[in-house]
Chains A and B, each alone.
Chain A
Amino acid sequence: MRFHIITAAFLWAAFVESRKIRGISSSYKRFYRERKSFLCIDGSKIIPFEQVNDDYCDCADGSDEPGTSACPRGRFYCTNLGFRPHYIPSSRVNDGICDCCDASDEYNSHARCQNTCWNLGQKERAYVEGQMKTLDEGLRLKQQLIEEGVLLWREKQAQLRELQRAAEDLQIKLEEHRKRKHEADRLKEQTLKALKAGDRDVRPESSSCGFRHQNSTVSHLFQLLDSNKDGSISLDEVKAKVVLVHDETRVLSEDEALTLLGGGHQMDLSKFQNTLWDVLTRGDGYKIKDAHSAPGGLMSEDPHLKAADRAAEWEAADLKKVEEAYETVNMEISDLQKKLEIDYGTDWEYLFLNGQCYKLKVYEYMYTLCPFNTVSQKSTAGTEVSLGLWGMWAGPAKNRYSQMVYENGEPCWQGGSRTTSVTLTCGTETGLRSVKEPSKCQYIMDFETPVACQPVLKQRGVHSEL
């Protein structure tokens, strides 16, 4: 009998206990010891203990109603044996929706909740296991990629040095070629001048003065002007061959030509020698058009000049080649430098991504991410749109390399331009996993790669309260 009473008392106490402590975690049990009164956890109020979980909110902090929906700011503890325990807002207690996998939140509602914790736990454990495997594998791959990254980095550095050396060599060569071309040009010029002066002995030192008294030169010039070889210079012939020294391109006007011909329409050799010859040889007003490069049939046929001309051309072509090579090398250097300026992570582990492109089709669009370069979108109709150019790493301070931003893509209708933010997550393979456009022109991509695997967080296993 006594035993029975004790049992009954015990059971009653257990019942009371279980009612009172609904919705609290074991670490909070100390606040809810059965006493006469209950002190709100924030210390704001003392209430009779019967008022704990009596479906009326007495404490401003909601601590008197951990197991009911009475307090607006309360929370309910799902024990979730076999799965993860967690808190839900009190407003989800008995709302007809199963929130706790152990069904403890719907103890007085229509909802028919099953205890799904064991299944969820299994799933989660399998998932976590998978994640751990992925992480281990990812970290292994990452190590490889780091090693490769270091090698790649060194290789690129070596490449850079080589290019720089090549550039130096080319610069020396360039100087040489410039000199040579200069020399060839000078030679050609001299030959030409000599020819003009009628001096057949091409002597580099020959001065340009003195040729004025050479009869042959007067007649030579006269012949040059007399295109139709009729023995006199006409108005049209003057207009065709004579130009202003300061404006070679302008054709002389009728009046100017007339003046040069001394007011007449014709001029013979003798008149020429006394008038126009002076004007032309003075060299301050008028000259023979193309006198330099087209010295009439006489000069072009000159073999010395021809040789000099060819040599000059030869040297110019050579110089151009060297210049181009130099430019190319310099461009490669600056490209490589730019590439190497990018932050590829502490161990250059992201370097291998530069130069790769990854594609993913989402609905009607094909998306392409070329890390550190471009992001683009191509519709099935075929038009390609830039969604951004490499901007920067944009992860939070403690995990900078978890997010990339690509900016200044194709402009948007309402102003601004397309941008893409790429989140890097740990995986055993490298590839684009998802693309979204939550707002117009703002794209979000998930990019999976072993190098995003972080060794620091060996994930918490599933532990449940017992």
Chain B
Amino acid sequence: MCCWFFLRRMGPVLLLWVAVCLSGSWAVDKGNFKTCDQSAFCKRQRAMKPGESPYRALLETMELTNTRLTLQLINDNNKVRLLLELYRLQGNITRVKINELKPLKPRYEVPDVLIREPPTEPLSLLSQDENGVVLSLGAESQRVIVSARPFRLDIVEGRDVLMSLNSRGLLGFEHLRMQEEEKVEDGMWEETFKTHTDSKPSGPSAVSLDFSLPGVEHVYGIPEHGDSLKLKTTDSGDPYRLYNLDVFQYELYNPMALYGSVPVMLSHNARRTMGIFWLNAAETWVDISSNTAGKTVFGKMLDYVQGSSETPQTDVRWISESGIIDVFLMLGPTPRDVFSQYASLTGTQAFPPLASLGYHQCRWNYNDQEDVRSVDAGFDEHDIPYDFIWLDIEHTDGKRYFTWDPHKFASPKEMLQGLQDKKRKMVAIVDPHIKVDTNYKIHNEIRSRGFYVKNKDGGDYEGWCWPGSAGYPDFTRPDMRAWWASQFAYDQYEGTMENLYTWNDMNEPSVFNGPEVTMHKDAMHESWEHRDVHNLYGLYVHRATAEGLIERSGGVERPFVLTRAFFAGSQRYGAVWTGDNAAEWDHLKISIPMCLSLGLVGISFCGADVGGFFKSPSTELLVRWYQTGAYQPFFRAHAHLDTPRREPWLFGPENTALIREVIRQRYTFLPYWYQLFYLAYQTGEPVMRPLWVEYPQDPATFALDDEFLLGRDLLVHPVTEEGARGVTAYLPGKHEVWFDIHTFQKHNGGQNLYIPVTMSSIPVFQRGGSIIPRKLRVRRSSTCMEHDPYTLYVALDNRRTAEGELYIDDGHTFNYEKKELMHRKFSFANGVLSSVDLEPNAQFTTKSWVERIIILGASKPSMVTLKTADGENQLEFDFDASMSVLTIRKPGMNAGADWTVTLQ
């Protein structure tokens, strides 16, 4: 949540600001945030002209070891030398690092994001002359060409140039200098924005580099922005900005920075998918231009027919305020390859506790224990499942995190036990700003240990946030993180039990009276300026908290921590939500591309506040949002303090029934969700993915962001228009068939299909060729369903085959790492459905059994036989000829057994 509410409580000092806030409508006050022109380094770098690169490679300085090439670059204008390092990394990744050869002092290199020093592969020299060198990039026919004058890198495969660096000559590297050394431009040594002055003790230090992507018309990623999935060109406006900010009432369809940053961009065309990972945690801007942007389809076709077309090309330029250039070129070639390449660098999605994939009920705020009890009872009364109820900041004793309001939450353990008795859980918020109050233990400890971030003069940095004056622990310090983690121990954090989890908000960090509502860039994290580490702060908070939850259970239990700010690697620590959205149809719509973009860069556990945080949704919008949210990874309803209540049963019996129905649908699919998260944890493949990921050769899918896939097998087209009576969904795959999950109606792929809709549901399809295990006995919470039987939905493709998987473990511990799990593969071919073990070395037993098999697109068999280790028996079945649906009654075998079911 943002500063809005705070302002009204902070009194007259900020009244003027309130007036500013009030004067607008619901839109963000853009004047509070910088444009590129208002950010001195961005303005300087963006003013550079292409085609005038002063950089030259000094080939004579080249050193090539087995795994590394180094080479000096010289700026012919000022004679400053840079050191280029080039590595070939395992898995078709090339890493390029550029730093000053002899910087005045060390420049910041981002730690803790890569999961390890990436393993390298041999590089070999192919040829060399005075104009450049050619290196072989491993076994494939990939080469890198280093041109000397001007310096340029081309990565080539066969005859195709995959990517070029500095091809437009926009490499920029502001060397560290003494202030008197050279001519001083405005904003080099001091910069003022609104009332805030940034002292810039190190002077100019920006880095930038351009990348050309021949043959590419589609680029994605670099979240977080409230914008379309396909990134837009930025020639006519500001670049996309990456700078973690608490943006009050953010506006959509623009490149403004939001709460989190992942400096990863994916490029895609029908032949190849690639990625660029720009490892820099300082404020970053990304410019995108394209030679085909603006051309109509007809224009492109005309070019093609006339043969006059230049190759389409997208040019990208990254600009960061400080640090070094450290960039990973993930060369694909398939989308899956890029996911695994990125996962090999920054890790995969944390495997969440199963319960966290259920429904979450949140509100700012549930007022007291009685309120919690009655909302919990409301779910039972209306027979709606949920797993987590959430407490926002008001649950604390005066915004002192790790404490409880002594009156409203006088006996938290009693409350938690009440939830535990129903196999439900709770999340309480813990923000990283710490009330400056000498009667507050947490503050005293942090202060006495010297753990606070320091201001430029060496004192503890203080800013305004919820509690009033607050300090900000320096989460970049491992000792600080270890201490923070220890505070989650049951004997430290009083009133807590195993079913209490954590929510980190405001960790951009949000500083109400700071520049752009965040921390001053000249604040100090030990020897580094906040400028260098800004985009990492939220990741560290998230990490320390997740580690705390792991430690409190002695390393046994999986944590669940939600964060608002994030960076590359945040996927390893838990879930992310899209921050303070609004109850508007456009915000419902944008939740799709926002979560798709996050999924592409590793963060699968994504969701938007169902219903919208600010304002009050109409009943129709609320129902549609539930229907969409139920098919997005993180499914939580949330609402602003000033909005009327909106628990699911407050909108009349008809709407209660609609919301109940879709939450129940979510629960029936939990086995599939869980399996997708296991896959994401193992491979880095996104849970919620754009269609092009599965249909990379079908250009019709490249810009779609009003529908999406869950895994490969579920296609979801939310209804995001008010009063909609139908939607047009694109069903991908010329040879695919898709089955409506509600009606079992079969549709052919490769077409735009108009689907009439009512309020009762949104279109969701199961892919022919897939087998999805579901649990149809929906109970009060996911934990209550643990031992329930499965129904297998076998959707046949045109060849009458299908495949699917089932993953089971205890749902909440790390024991899956010790192979206490069960992973089955189902296949249907030639009338035989079989279940085989994918992990024969794993050990896990389940009480769950298979209660029903539903085969979509089947023909009527005369006999159905089950064969297990115990022998053979015939199964009853029912065949619906009108829909070609075969239902096999109660086969009854254990979900972990080997079996076959034969249709004759």
Contacts and interface: CB of A to CB of B under 8 A. Distances in A.
Interface stretch (B190-198, B241-249, B636-644, B727-735): B636-644
A56 B889 contact: yes
Contacts of A69: 777, 779, 788
Interface stretch (A255-263, A272-280, A433-441): A433-441
Interface stretch (A92-100, A229-237, A340-348): A92-100
Contacts of A89: 383
Given A96-B784, A97-B422, A440 B777 contact: no
A72 B778 contact: yes
B383 A439 contact: no
B414 interface: no
Contact of A91 (B422, B779, B890): B779
Nearest to A72: B776
Given A91-B780, A95-B780, A438-B367, A70 B851 contact: yes
A442 interface: yes
Contacts of A3: none
A95 B367 contact: no
Given A56-B851, A96-B423, A440 B890 contact: no
Contact of A438 (B371, B421, B777, B851): B371
A414 interface: yes
Nearest to A69: B777
Contacts of A412: 642
Interface string A352-365: 00000000000110
B149 interface: no
A437 B371 CA distance: 10
A413 interface: yes
A412 B421 CA distance: 39
Interface in A427-456: 436-442
Contacts of B383: 89, 91
Q: Which of A58, A89, A439, A442 has the most CB of B within 10 A?
A: A439
B828 to A, nearest CB: 22
A91 B668 CA distance: 13
A56 B789 CA distance: 10
A436 B423 contact: no
A438 B890 CA distance: 47
Contacts of A58: 889
A363 B778 CA distance: 39
B373 interface: no
B389 to A, nearest CB: 15
B851 A414 contact: no
Contacts of B776: 72
Contacts of A414: 642-643
A18 to B, nearest CB: 22
B645 interface: yes
Contact of A442 (B8, B644, B777, B890): B644
Interface in A64-118: 69-70, 72, 89, 91-92, 95-97
Contact of A97 (B423, B641, B777): B423
A439 B777 contact: no
B407 interface: yes
B778 A91 contact: yes
Interface in A22-81: 54-56, 58, 69-70, 72
B408 interface: yes
Contact of B645 (A55, A70, A413, A438): A438
Contacts of A92: 779-780
Interface in B1-36: 8
A72 B777 contact: yes
B367 A97 contact: no
Given A91-B779, A96-B423, A97-B421, A437 B367 contact: yes
Q: Which of A54, A72, A91 has the most CB of B within 10 A?
A: A91
A72 B852 CA distance: 14
Contact of B784 (A95, A364, A437, A442): A95
Interface in B367-412: 367, 371, 383, 407-408
Contacts of B408: 363
- What band does the interface of chain B fall in when counting residues whose beta carbon is under 8 Å from A? 20 to 34
A412 B423 CA distance: 38
- What band does the interface of chain A fall in when counting residues whose beta carbon is under 8 Å from B? 20 to 34
Contacts of B421: 97
Nearest to B422: A97
Interface string B649-691: 0000000000000001000000000000000000000000000
Contacts of A56: 851-852, 889-890
Interface in B111-136: none
Contacts of A436: 367, 371
B392 to A, nearest CB: 13
B264 to A, nearest CB: 38
A151 B896 CA distance: 80
A92 B383 CA distance: 10
Interface string B784-797: 11001000000000
B645 A439 contact: yes
B423 A363 contact: no
B777 A363 contact: no
Interface in A378-422: 412-414
A92 B423 CA distance: 12
A70 B777 contact: yes
B760 to A, nearest CB: 16
B240 to A, nearest CB: 32
Nearest to B890: A56
Interface string B724-742: 0000000000000000000
B777 A91 contact: yes
A92 B664 CA distance: 14
Contacts of B890: 54-56
B862 to A, nearest CB: 20
B810 to A, nearest CB: 14
A72 B665 CA distance: 12
Nearest to B647: A438
Contacts of A91: 383, 777-780, 784
B644 A439 contact: yes
A56 B779 CA distance: 16
Nearest to B646: A439
A58 B778 CA distance: 17
A440 B642 contact: yes
A97 B780 contact: yes
Contact of A413 (B8, B664, B785, B852): B8
A91 B663 CA distance: 15
B645 A363 contact: no
Contacts of B785: 95
Interface in B759-791: 776-780, 784-785, 788
Nearest to B668: A72
Given A72-B664, A95-B780, 18 more contacts: A54-B890, A55-B851, A56-B852, A56-B889, A69-B779, A72-B777, A72-B778, A89-B383, A91-B778, A92-B780, A95-B423, A95-B785, A96-B423, A96-B784, A97-B422, A413-B642, A439-B645, A440-B643
9 contacts: A55-B890, A56-B851, A69-B777, A72-B777, A91-B780, A92-B780, A97-B423, A97-B784, A439-B645
10 residue pairs, one from A and one from B, having the closest CB atoms:
A95-B784, A414-B642, A56-B890, A91-B779, A439-B644, A440-B642, A439-B645, A363-B407, A95-B779, A69-B777
Interface of B: 8, 367, 371, 383, 407-408, 421-423, 641-645, 664, 776-780, 784-785, 788, 851-852, 889-890
